[in-house]
Structure 1
Amino acid sequence: MTEIPTLETERLLLRAQTMDDWPAYARLMMSDRAVHLDGPHSLGDAWGLFCHNLAQWPLMGQGTLMIESRATGECLGQVGIHHGPLFPEHELGWQLYPGAEGNGYAFEAAQALRDWAFSVRGLETLVSHIDPDNHGSRRLAERLDAELELDPERPGPEVLVYRHRA
């Protein structure tokens, strides 16, 4: 069984999720802000996704970490690496809660988890599947030096694939 790591950056603590994280996660996933995450979701679907994020760790050796401010202890969102039947390649993804955007938190968290995946898990590549209209995530993927693939295998025609290389 894979132990869930705790990663630290200058401003952030990336840690395992707890039940205390559920209310904010549910609010996000059931809101219109979840449109780029195939939402908004029902309460039951949000719960299934929350459990999926945690279940990835023992099943696949990676999963989701909560993004917490080291200064305030506030949970700002999530960053994760997913794999399995729904994710044929290891996918790096992120989401921030309302009010946390525009501070570089997603970049800092995604960079830390990406580097962990390459150095600790030994992965050589990751992808980020991004809705073409999600300009913020597209800019973030490019800031992370991910390259837009022009003719990739993807989960659907409506998704852009950005490739991160070790």
Structure 2
Amino acid sequence: MSVMPVIPALSTARLTLRGPEPRDFEVLRAFYASERSAFVGGPKSPEGTWRQLAAEIGHWALRGYGRWMVTEKASDRTVGMVGLWNPEGWPEPEIAWDLFEGFEGKGYATEAARAARSYAYETLGWPTAISLVNRANTASARVAERLGAVHEGEVRHETYGAIGVYRHPAPEACR
């Protein structure tokens, strides 16, 4: 018997953000098996991917928020994972995004991250948020900048090394 945390769904003009579920294993396995996952701890074995999916679901249970699986409304294809992330060892709560192969360049990460940030600010009452971006991940840095986030320095993480910190605008500036 599995007990899933209650995860709210969000909707944008083109996307649905829904909670991660066991059925997402295959799409995540493909993502984490690819070099596309290099900036987020991949590539991973199927076992490592299963553990990552368990962490994504468990984050919702432990923190009351987390990352959503993002699907296109028009096709119901899963395009990535976007949301709120703050595991043990993180410098502070983050708005994070991973897009799957073939879905880059469509504005999906920006659209979904904007919805996630609105949820963090308006529903959870976060006073601020960051996004952590590997300095070599220029596409992700551009998403952060499109969201109005400003590079404010770097932090050193035990697993990921030096990571750029992008500070998002305050809640009142996002309304």
| Counterpart residue number, 1:29 | 32
- Aligned-pair CA distance for 1:154: 4.3
Counterpart of 2:54?
51
**Counterparts of residues 81-120 of structure 1 (less than 5 Å):** 81-120=84-123
Q: Is the 8 A contact 2:22 2:53 kept in 1?
A: no
Contact 2:36 2:100 survives alignment (8 Å): no
Instruction: Give the letter aligned to residue 158 of structure 1.
Output: A
Matched residues, number: 165
Rounded to whole Å, the distance in 2 between the matches of 1:19 and 1:47 is 9
TM-score of the superposition, structure 1-length normalised?
Answer: 0.92
CA RMSD of aligned residues (A): 1.7
Q: Distance in 2 between matches of 1:32 and 1:2?
A: 30
* Cα distance in 1 for residues equivalent to 2:89 and 2:52: 12
SS in 1 for 2:13: coil
2:151 aligned with 1:148: yes
TM-score normalised per structure 2:
0.88
Task: Give 1:86 shift.
Answer: 3.0
1:163 is aligned, of 162, 167, 175, to: 167
Same amino acid, percent of matched pairs: 36
Unaligned runs of 5+ in 2: none
Runs of at least 4 residues of structure 1 off by over 3 A?
A: none
